[in-house]
Structure 1
Amino acid sequence: MPLGIRIFLVYFLFVGLSGWFVISTVMDEIRPGVRQSTEETLVDTANLLAELLRDDLRSGRLEQSRWQELFRAYGLRQPQAQIWDVQKNSVSHRIYVTDAAGRVLLDSSGESVGQDYSRWNDVYLTLRGQYGARSSREDAADPESSVMYVAAPIRDQGQIIGVVSVSKPSRTLQPYIERSQTRLAWIGAGLIGLGLLVGALLSWWLSASLRRLTDYARQVAAGERTSLPALRGGELAQLGQALQQMREQLEGKAYVERYVHTLTHELKSPLAAIRGAAELLENEMPAEQRARFVGNIQNESTRLQQLIERLLHLALVEQRQGLEEREPVPLRVLFEELLTSQTGRITAGQIEVDNLLDDEQCVTGERFLLQQALANLLDNALDFTPPGGLIRCSAELQDGRLLFSLFNQGEAIPDYALPRLSERFYSLPRPGSGRKSTGLGLNFVEEVAALHGGSLQLVNVPGGVEARLSLPLETPSK
């Protein structure tokens, strides 16, 4: 299972269980909280009524007073109150008053006058100087029919002469409880959902960053040219930099070792030829033979110089992971500059050059590297074009890229050599001299193409050979 999914699952379980526990706990506390607030209001109401009823109860005029009429009028009131989004259209308090023996003197409902309520907890406890409250069901089989009663003592000079009780049915509180629970459920679900979304984004970001680092490490292990992905976050950025430093150190060491072995191997042949010619020149020989050996020394020295220069150029390109600059480079102008520099060879070989490049055709990249790559292709084409032959240069759009083609008239490349032409130090004998080149030119072109995000291909075509260089397209601004 991917690390990102595992992190998300752990986060999901933690946030989900924590959110569920918190919401469940709070929702369980809503009902008691509402009941406690209601009870506190009932306590205040009962004590207020106890003070209002004291004088009439003390004088014995309570039953003949207008209180029963007032209670009845109170029960008929229609408040038409909009409490949040709950409509309240009737009053729900029931009020009854008992004497010191617990007999009901007044009842707002008019049902219990004269009955003995001394056994009900609200009256029983209050008459004994304690806090009197009870919760009783109107219907024993229906838990929703519960009614909450709170009583307050009516005192005369410190003596309890009666009790006033105020009640409120629990069903009248249910709309407010349900509303609070519903709102809490929606808010809680939204917060949990938001938390899970944040967790998913965090897991995705972390997984994507680690996946990019993993892909980078695999590409480095495969020897591919790639750059360190841009990473945000202190630890991830530090990890990326550590991988980059490790790569540079390992590649630098391996690169030096590989080039030392390669250079040693390639220098053996020309050095042996120079040393052999120098030893022979120490002896007496005809002037013509001496001149030939001196020429061999000069040729091998030139070969050594070319080999070292091209190795340096190739090393410069291979060690780079990206372009240092990007600019539109017009191919026609660049190729005409190269043709001008090769005018001597072209004229001497009576070679016809057909430049079909348009002025508007450009590629994006480093001008110096592209110039060196095209110079190698042109030099290679001139080497294999017979006297009086044709070199033709063209370019065309292909799949959103510019395909540069350089055709040279000459013999076809043997099938066994085609897949190896861009290998380092692999070269075919030149038709004119039979000598081989350093074998680094086409390898350099391939590296430059890869550095620009392109590719190199050499193919046999009717009448000769064609080198195809695919590069990113850039339309110059007008």
Structure 2
Amino acid sequence: MSGLRLPGMPLGVRIFLVYFCFVGLAGWFVLSTVMEEIRPGVRQSTEETLVDTANLLAELLRDDLRDGRLHERDWQALFQAYGQRQPQAQIWDIAKNSVSHRIYVTDAQGRVLLDSSGVAVGQDYSRWNDVYLTLRGQYGARSSREVADDPQSSVMYVAAPIRDAGRIIGVVSVSKPSRTLQPYIERSQRRLAWFAAGFSLLGLLVGAALSWWLSAALRRLTGYAVAVAAGQRASLPQGRGGELGQLARALEQMRAELDGKAYVEHYVHTLTHELKSPLAAIRGAAELLEGEMPAAQRQRFLGNIQQESARLQQLIERLLGLALVEQQQSLQQVQPVALRALCEQLCQGQAARLQRAGLHCTWQMDESLQVLGEPFLLQQALANLLDNAIDFSPSGATLEWRAERQGEQLCVRLFNPGQAIPEYALARLTERFYSLPRPGSGRKSTGLGLNFVAEVAALHGGRLEVGNVAGGVQASLWLPAA
């Protein structure tokens, strides 16, 4: 037993073992009790039948015994003929081909007058309990063995008084060997054993199903709690009411409250840090504008204030968008979205900016391709990819949209010519607030665009990859195909 470690067993296994022991012990107790009751139950039913038979014969024999005409009616021959009958009966699936009752009649002194077996006529049976008790007005019955050392040779005797005007003038006894009852007892026990085995198996299957269901529900809740603790996005397991459903809702509420507190604290620190630089620039320019300076210099400082203000607005808007996606645990409105139409719409919306930068877009994707997701988030994600490609493409370049189906997903690719991404930056491109300087201005962005795209991809069950390819940079976005 040293190899059995209950503490390390899964909860479902332990529940099943407890259930198995309980059902096994209860079933064994009930089965053994019922098995023990079958034999006395059959004997009681048989005894009741013998009582009826004995009393019927007592009424039939009364007049002939009273008038001394037993031998004239030749009851002895009738009894012996009865003992030789072959009923050819089929009781359930047990054949009965002979009668097993023995009948004998005694007078008021207990001497045998008639015997269906023919062996005891003239003998004194007054000391046998069936005759002895009946002659004294009591219920007469006994059980005697034909072979002293063989309990299976037991014979049951039941007697009834033969009365005349209230006076007992004789006794009629009817007997039946216990061995004739044994086939019926064994049949009942066999059937009961099969029924018990069937119900036990059914009970074990129900127990196994219950244990599996309970452990599966607990595993889902445990997996959800582990994923939340690891900071991963996870959907709340669907409960069907009861305590497990309440536990799931309590976990979700706790996660929401903890995430909310941690999220607010994190974003307060982040926003405070990111606002320092543009606020310092605005404050410095404003202080300088309080003094006298040439108009051109004043105009330059005013431009700095406007530029930093726009940067602040962009930072706040992107932080709010990112916060919305990160807090969203599942998609709200899932529907098929035509991919090429969405990309063309985005390029048309950026037409003025593309024209100023001397860029244009091409599409190499089938118009029938559709992705399955939330349209607004998909639009925002692809818009961020397009913004990033415009910022890092040289004038006169062509931005190429491609799409292909790969199994259950669509891969959307956006290629932009330009300088390769440095090796040290490749692993950090989707990191929050990490940004590379733009080739034209040397300025950095908020560093939230690709992080937002990665969050949207994860929410849809996809992923984002950005890497260097021949002639430029390519962003690949995997999304579920419709």
Instruction: Please say whether Structure 1 and Structure 2 have the same fold, judged by a TM-score greater than 0.5.
Output: yes
Partner of 2:226 in structure 1? 218
Separation of aligned partners in 1, 2:62 and 2:407: 101
In 1, the alpha carbon distance for the partners of 2:376 and 2:137 equals 105
Query: Could you report, residue by residue, the CA deviation over 1:171-226 in whole angstroms, capped at 9, with x for unpaired residues?
Result: 11112111211222222222222222222222211111111111111111111111
The question of 1:7 aligning with 2:15 is answered: yes
Query: Partner residue of 2:447?
Result: 439
**In structure 1, how many angstroms separate the alpha carbons of the residues matched to 2:275 and 2:183?**
96
Q: After superposing the two structures, state which structure 1 stretch, 205-214 or 185-194, moved more.
A: 185-194
CA-CA distance at 1:352 after TM superposition? 4.1
3-state secondary structure, aligned to 1:65: coil
Residue-by-residue CA offset, 1:26-67 (whole Å, 9 max, x unaligned): 111111011011111111111111121122222222234321
User: C-alpha displacement at 1:293, in angstroms?
Assistant: 1.2
2:71 matches 1:63: yes
Q: How does 1:323-472 map to 2 (within 5 A)?
A: 323-472=331-480
Inter-partner Cα distance in structure 2 for 1:275 and 1:56: 138
Q: Distance in 1 between matches of 2:447 and 2:48?
A: 98
The correspondence for 1:247, drawn from 223, 230, 255, is 255
Secondary structure at the aligned position of 2:17 is classed as: helix
Instruction: Give deviations 1:229-261, integer Å, cap 9, x for gaps.
Output: 101132111111111111111111111111111
1:12-27 matches, within 5 Å, as 12-27=20-35
- 1-side partners of 2:213 and 2:240: how far apart? 10
* Matched residue, 2:198: 190
Equivalent residue for 1:28, pick from 22, 30, 36? 36
Q: Who is 2:275 aligned against? A: 267
Determine the C-alpha separation between the residues in 1 that align with 2:157 and 2:411.
93
Aligned counterpart in structure 2 of residue 152 of structure 1, from 160, 185, 191: 160
- Alignment-mate amino acid for residue 367 of structure 2: D
Which of 68, 87, 98 is the equivalent residue of 1:79? 87
Question: Secondary structure of the equivalent of 1:247?
Answer: helix
CA distance in 2, matches of 1:295, 1:44: 121
Amino acid at match of 2:66: R
**In structure 1, what is the equivalent of residue 314 of structure 2?**
306
CA distance in 2, matches of 1:117, 1:36: 24
- More displaced stretch, 332-341 vs 50-59: 50-59
SS at match of 1:411: coil
Query: What are the equivalent positions in structure 2 for 1:86-235 lying under 5 Å apart?
Result: 86-235=94-243
- Equivalent pairs counted in the alignment come to 474
In 1, the alpha carbon distance for the partners of 2:115 and 2:331 equals 96
User: Residue type matched to 1:421 in 2?
Assistant: L
Query: Secondary structure, in 3 states, of the residue corresponding to 1:359?
Result: coil
Please report the TM-score for the alignment, with normalisation by the length of structure 2. 0.95
Report the residue type matching 1:179 in the other structure: R
Q: CA RMSD in A?
A: 1.4
* Residue 287 of structure 2 corresponds to residue 258 of structure 1: no
**In structure 2, distance between residues paired with 1:422 and 1:267:** 21
How far, CA to CA, are the matches of 1:335 and 1:157 in structure 2? 118
Q: Of residues 47, 68, 88 in structure 1, which corresponds to 2:55?
A: 47
Secondary structure of the residue aligned to 1:471 is: strand
SS, match of residue 427 in structure 2: helix
Hey, what's the Cα distance between the residues in 1 that align with 2:357 and 2:205?
72
Partners of 1:471 and 1:83 in 2: how far apart? 74
SS state at 2:217 partner: helix
Which residue identity is paired with 1:74? Answer: Y
**Cα shift at 1:124:** 2.2
Give the conservation status (yes or no) of the 8 Å contact 1:413–1:465. yes
Letter matched to residue 419 of structure 1: A
Aligned partners of 2:303 and 2:64: how far apart in 1? 143
- Aligned partner letter, 1:456: L
- SS of the aligned residue for 2:223 comes to helix
Amino acid in structure 1 at the alignment position of 2:297: Q
- Counterpart CA distance in 1 for 2:33 and 2:348 is 87
Give the drift of 1:158. 3.1
For 1:203 and 1:211, locate their aligned partners in 2 and report how far apart those are by CA, in whole Å: 12
Deviations along 1:147-181, whole A, 9 cap, x unmatched? Answer: 11111122233333222110111111112111211
Question: Could you say what secondary structure the match of 1:220 adopts?
Answer: helix
What secondary structure does 1:420 align onto?
coil
The equivalent of 2:3 in structure 1 is none
- Is residue 63–residue 105 contact of structure 1 (8 Å, CA) maintained in 2? no
Residues 373-382 or 338-347, more deviating: 338-347
Q: CA offset at residue 11 of structure 1? A: 1.6
Q: Distance in 2 between matches of 1:99 and 1:396?
A: 111
Identity of aligned residues (%): 75
Partner AA of 2:113 in structure 1: L
Q: Distance between the aligned counterparts of 1:325 and 1:156, measured in 2? A: 100
